[in-house]
C-alpha cells in the first residue's frame, strides 16, 4: 500500500484533549507519598492537583498539553498550516491554553464548556521519568456534532491521539470527518493502557480509516502480542500504508510499501525530561510526509524533533532550537 494524498501540502489537523500541563521536578519520595505508581498515570480531581502543587518544592511550569496538541504545536513551528480541535473550559486556564496555541502559530478550533479546563500534573523525578496525574475536565466533553466540516477543510493529514479511543463515538466521528475532507489519518496509540482496553477498536478501524499507525515498544507489544520488534512492525503495518515503531534511545523503524527503514536517534540520547518526545517525533514525521518527503527524510526530521524536546522540561522546544531545525532541514 502507498500513501495517496488528495490535499498534499494542506493543513495538519489534530484532534484530542485540550489540557494544560503543569510540570514539577520532585523526588521519588514525593511521588511515593501520592500513593500512585511511579511512571504511571492516575486520574485525580482538580482539588488534588492543587494540593500537590501547594506541597511541591519547585514552581510548576505551565504549557499547553495533550498528545495531539503537542504534535500540532510542533507542526506549526515547522511552518505547517496547523489546527487543533478540542474543548476547553470558559476560564482563565482555558484562555491561557488558547492564547499559547495561537502564539505558537496554531489555529485553535476550540469549543467552550462551563466545566473547568482539563489539566495534567506531571512529576518529573531525577531519572527523567514522568508520573502523570490528569483531570480531563472540559476536554472529555467534546461531542461528535462539534466536528464540523469547516474544521477539517483542506487538511492533508488529521492526527488523532489514542486517548480519544476511550470515547468511541467521538473517535469514529473524527475518522469519518477526516475521510470526508479527503485527509489521510494518523493514529498515535498513545499508551499501552489505551491499547489494552481498546485493541479491538484499533483493529476494526486500521484497515478502513487509518493510513499512518504510530506505536512505541510497549504499545506494539500489547497490540501485536509479540516482543519481537521486527515481527511486531510487520503486524502493525498489515492493513495500513505506513507503520511506525518507536524504540526510544535506539531510534525507530518505519514500514512503508513493504520496506523497513531504520531511523537512528538524533544526538547522544541524553534527556532531562522525555515529556512530549513521541508527540514531537510525530510532528516532524507528519510534516515531512505532508510535504512529499520520503519516509527516511521524514523520519530524520522526526528523530531530531523528538531528541530536542528531551533537552528541556515540558513538551515545548525553544524558538531558537526550532529555528535551527528549520535551517538544517531547509524549511522556509
Q: Is 0.75 topped by the overall pTM?
A: yes
Structure confidence at residue 274 (pLDDT): 79
CB 80 within 8 A of CB 287: yes
Q: What tens digit of pLDDT does each residue of 184-198 get?
A: 999 999 989 899 999
CB 22 within 8 A of CB 61: yes
Average pLDDT, the chain: 95
Instruction: Average the pLDDT over each of 63-67, 143-147, 208-212, 274-278 and give the range with the smallest value.
Output: 274-278
Cα–Cα distance, 16 to 191 (Å, whole number): 14
Structure confidence at residue 291 (pLDDT): 96
For the chain, give every domain's residue range. Answer: 11-18+67-114+138-328
Per DSSP, the three-state class of 204 is helix
The cell numbers describing 323, all together, are: 529555528
Class level of CATH domain 11-18+67-114+138-328: alpha beta
CA 57 to chain centre: 29
Nearest C-alpha neighbor of 21 from the set 316, 309, 271, 302: 316
Residue 316: pLDDT band with limits 50, 70, 90: confident
Per DSSP, the three-state class of 195 is helix
Cα–Cα distance, 272 to 324 (Å, whole number): 20
Cα–Cα distance, 153 to 176 (Å, whole number): 13
With a pLDDT cut of 90, the percent of the chain lying above it is 86
Q: What tens digit of pLDDT does each residue of 14-25 get?
A: 999 999 999 999
Amino acid at each position: 500500500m502507498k500513501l495517496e494524498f488528495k490535499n498534499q501540502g494542506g493543513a495538519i489537523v489534530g484532534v484530542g484533549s485540550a489540557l494544560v500541563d503543569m510540570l514539577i521536578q520532585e523526588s521519588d519520595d514525593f511521588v511515593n507519598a501520592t500513593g500512585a505508581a511511579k511512571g504511571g498515570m492516575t486520574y485525580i480531581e482538580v482539588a488534588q492537583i492543587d494540593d500537590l502543587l501547594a506541597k511541591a518544592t519547585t514552581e510548576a511550569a505551565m504549557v499547553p498539553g495533550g498528545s495531539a496538541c503537542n504534535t500540532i504545536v510542533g507542526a506549526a513551528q515547522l511552518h505547517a498550516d496547523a489546527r487543533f480541535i478540542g474543548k476547553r473550559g470558559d476560564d482563565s486556564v482555558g484562555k491561557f491554553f488558547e492564547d499559547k496555541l495561537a502564539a505558537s502559530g496554531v489555529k485553535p478550533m476550540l469549543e467552550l464548556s462551563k466545566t473547568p479546563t482539563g489539566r495534567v500534573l506531571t512529576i518529573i523525578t531525577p531519572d527523567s521519568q514522568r508520573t502523570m496525574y490528569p483531570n480531563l475536565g472540559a476536554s472529555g466533553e467534546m461531542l461528535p456534532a462539534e466536528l464540523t466540516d469547516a474544521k477539517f477543510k483542506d487538511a492533508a493529514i488529521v492526527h488523532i491521539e489514542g486517548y480519544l479511543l476511550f470515547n468511541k463515538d467521538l473517535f469514529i466521528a473524527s475518522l469519518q470527518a477526516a475521510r470526508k475532507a479527503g485527509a489521510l489519518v494518523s493514529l498515535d496509540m498513545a499508551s499501552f493502557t489505551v491499547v489494552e482496553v481498546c485493541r479491538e477498536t484499533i483493529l476494526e478501524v486500521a484497515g478502513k480509516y487509518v493510513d499512518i499507525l504510530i506505536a512505541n515498544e510497549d504499545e506494539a507489544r500489547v497490540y501485536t502480542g509479540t516482543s519481537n520488534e521486527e515481527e511486531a512492525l510487520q503486524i502493525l503495518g498489515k492493513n495500513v500504508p505506513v507503520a511506525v515503531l518507536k524504540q526510544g534511545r535506539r531510534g525507530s523503524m518505519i514500514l512503508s510499501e513493504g520496506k523497513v527503514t531504520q531511523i537512528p536517534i538524533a544526538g547522544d540520547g541524553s534527556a532531562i525530561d522525555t515529556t512530549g518526545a513521541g508527540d514531537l517525533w510525530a510532528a516532524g514525521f507528519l510534516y515531512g510526509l505532508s510535504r512529499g518527503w520520503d519516509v527516511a527524510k521524514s523520519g530524520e526530521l522526526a528523530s531530531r524533533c523528538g531528541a530536542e524536546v528531551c533537552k528541556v522540561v515540558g513538551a515545548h522546544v525553544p524558538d531558537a532550537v526550532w529555528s535551527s531545525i528549520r535551517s538544517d532541514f531547509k524549511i522556509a
